[in-house]
Amino acid sequence: MTEVIVVLDELDDAQTVRVVDLLKGHGLEVFKVDNDESIVDGTIESDKVKLLKDVESVRFVRSILTYTVDYPPGDPRDKDGLDDDDT
C-alpha cells in the first residue's frame, strides 16, 4: 500500500467531487479532501499509483509512504492466500 498526496488543478467544489470520484474508481481510499489547497490525501495499492497520474485535472501524485499489508486468509483484500503457518 502507498500513502499519497494527489495535487489537483484549481477546481470548483463540483469539479473536485467529480475528480475525487474518478480517483476512487482507480482504487484510492480517500482520507481527506482540501479543495482550498487542491489536495487529496489517501492510500492505494502500490501498483496502482501510476493510474492516478492519468486522471483528468491531476497535476501530480506524491508517494509519501509505502508499506506491506498482510490481510488474513479469507479477507477479500488478501492477495497471497494462506500463510505458511496455515498449511
Q: What is the pLDDT of residues 29-71, one digit of tens each?
A: 999 999 999 999 999 999 899 999 999 999 999 999 887 777 7
For residue 73, what pLDDT band results from cuts at 50, 70 and 90? confident
Measured CA to CA, the distance from residue 76 to residue 10 in angstroms comes to 36
SS3 78: coil
Do 33 and 40 touch, CB atoms closer than 8 A? yes
Set of cell numbers at residue 59 = 497535476
pLDDT in the model for residue 11: 95
Measured CA to CA, the distance from residue 21 to residue 7 in angstroms comes to 15
> Where exactly are the structural domains of the chain?
2-66
H helix runs in the chain, sequence order: 13-25, 49-52
pLDDT in the model for residue 69: 72
Q: What's the CATH class of domain 2-66?
A: alpha beta
pTM as predicted: 0.78
pLDDT in the model for residue 84: 58
